[in-house]
A and B are shown apart, each in its own frame.
Chain A
């Protein structure tokens, strides 16, 4: 083998693989529009990307798994937390997290309401990108809801309403990313230990202003219309009396799934 041979190997090889790479790049471009739902890439989403960049978010957080590793991944954060909560959180993170309790705290960035709405729109759009199935399991910001090893957790085909409800709680509904089932553990929303007992007491309380008549009805109402009645205090609602819980479950879950979920919640002790 002479130097001329190896030089040829280098130049021809590089040329060949560069051409293949450029070809694949062109092919990739033809797919991006569909894979990222280009029609939903609104002006707010575009502005949100600029907010994301200008405030250097990816040098703490990861998004699609890319960035820095000092703060949680935000790929599915809008689906997990809802826009109302995120709006409140971004205005003042110290209302929900503390350095002593959680180890880390996000600084208050002083974002305007417009910037907050835009960055949430951007994150919501990112959450719908076709990522070839990543992450394989939901990534949660905080929580101790160890759900067992892959393959042995309760599946959606489980028998019985409560078992099916548990699968929704931990899976599709993403309830476990905000609510703990252990007592005294506040993740984002209140702990749901003994929630049925409290629900039963609540509906008979004169201060209760919702429409439910019994514990099951109260739980249904809380899932489908979280702002129908707000427990006094500022931890779980906005100053304008909106619950921080996502209001999207009435469209996200079927009636039967809500029934299963209520059945599961009544079993929590």
Chain B
């Protein structure tokens, strides 16, 4: 750790990982309900378990992003965080809102809009958290007077995410408009500004892990995030095919969605070429695995599996089936879960005051391969169930309930692959805890030599 205040990142990461584990636990509850029967029908019904599963995902990823920013900004701007206290207040408030939301869901307090179920008052709390965060980061950069492109892209992504949260606060009586603006938040987050966050973190990690030239990397970073917006903004149209919006969205959404894989292919080529050229062997190979993994898996999950069902002539048959679940799982995992785990794995030695060599554990690599393998298996199982569902229910016209009974075997496969994935998550947590407590201020001196070597 070069800057004492960076240690706050450790606690953001710890909170993120605990929420991640909880998300996975709720995933098991969901697949158990798919397999049925459901003894918890009147305790925690599917809808409640599902909103907790997806909301925990958003909350823990955002916690990870904010932690990543608190680790990265001091190093990029070469200064302490403007106010460490404010960072603590922010974390406390954020977790209080998160816990209140989840407990509220268990008691049926919800706004019932997929991904944006959080009650209005708590949503305002989220806005406050973002304001605190952006103020703290902006002041840090201002104090330092040094602002890099990499941190600019990361912070730009987080600031835009805060801005795009606002349309989700507006209530609509017309369901079509309600849907229209819900996608401004959900789509423009995950297929827009969050990719800035991923791109910024990827560039930071590649610079650190490969020793590649910053100017070259940042130049290409602009191309990648430029391609993301070029395709992603109008790509929102693939959500506007069937909700009551005009027919031209079929063309707009189809064409620009077809371009969306370009940004991801660019990202994968970017990561691969950087490491191939550098020839540097960074000792933290686990972090390297997660970094390259993120670039490759997001290409597969968000890019290719997304493309598999965004073309209107395909989507009219697959819309609202497990094809979406297939794409959603690998896209979120590749683009966002892996990049957060990459920055955690990369920063942990410094945060806990150890050398990279000392932190290189077999456990960490096992966690990587089990999670990657488990997620691949789950994605394939959802693909099989989604394709079968599309043919039986949408094309042949079999009833929804009969179709579900025919595809139970695929849910068993989800359960099997999910167990492998969960084992990986458990190993990652054990590895994290084993790294030891975060470094205190007095132990900061040797860490500087490690980090600066």
Asked if A32 contacts B245 (CB within 8 A), the reply is yes
Task: Give the segment of A11-19, A155-163, A241-249 that binds chain B.
Answer: A11-19
Chain B residues closer than 8 Å to A67, beta-carbon distance: 114, 320
B431: Cβ under 8 A from any A Cβ: no
A133-162 residues at the B interface, CB under 8 angstroms: 133-147, 149-150
How many residues of chain B get a CB closer than 8 Å to chain A's CBs?
A: 74
B323-371 residues at the A interface, CB under 8 angstroms: 324-325
Q: Mark B34-51, 1 if CB is under 8 A from A, else 0.
A: 101110011001111011
How many contacts between A and B, using CB within 8 angstroms? Answer: 223
Q: How far is the CA of A57 from the CA of B371 in the complex (A)?
A: 32
A38: Cβ under 8 A from any B Cβ: yes
Contacting residue for A32 out of B46, B177, B218, B248, CB 8 A: B177
Chain A residues closer than 8 Å to B446, beta-carbon distance: none
Chain B residues closer than 8 Å to A99, beta-carbon distance: 36-38
Task: Give the segment of A58-66, A84-92, A215-223 that binds chain B.
Answer: A58-66
Asked if B219 contacts A2 (CB within 8 A), the reply is yes
Q: How many interface residues does chain A have, given as a range? A: 35 or more
Asked if A131 contacts B394 (CB within 8 A), the reply is no
Chain A residues closer than 8 Å to B51, beta-carbon distance: 56, 59
Chain A residues closer than 8 Å to B118, beta-carbon distance: none
Asked if A9 contacts B179 (CB within 8 A), the reply is no
Asked if B176 contacts A59 (CB within 8 A), the reply is no
Asked if A64 contacts B243 (CB within 8 A), the reply is yes
Asked if A66 contacts B399 (CB within 8 A), the reply is no
Measured CB to CB, the nearest residue on chain A to B256 is A17
Q: How far is the CA of A69 from the CA of B414 in the complex (A)?
A: 15
Contacting residue for A65 out of B175, B320, B405, CB 8 A: B320
Chain A residues closer than 8 Å to B398, beta-carbon distance: 140, 143-144, 146
- A sample of 20 cross-chain residue pairs with beta-carbon separation below 8 angstroms, ordered by A number, consists of A3-B218, A6-B222, A7-B149, A9-B226, A18-B233, A24-B248, A24-B252, A32-B176, A32-B180, A36-B176, A52-B112, A53-B111, A58-B113, A69-B322, A70-B46, A100-B37, A103-B36, A104-B38, A139-B400, A146-B397
New A-B contacts (19) at CB < 8 Å, excluding given A59-B114, A105-B41, A140-B397: A24-B234, A35-B244, A36-B175, A36-B176, A49-B175, A49-B178, A58-B114, A59-B50, A60-B45, A69-B321, A70-B50, A99-B38, A107-B42, A130-B244, A133-B316, A138-B397, A143-B402, A144-B399, A147-B396
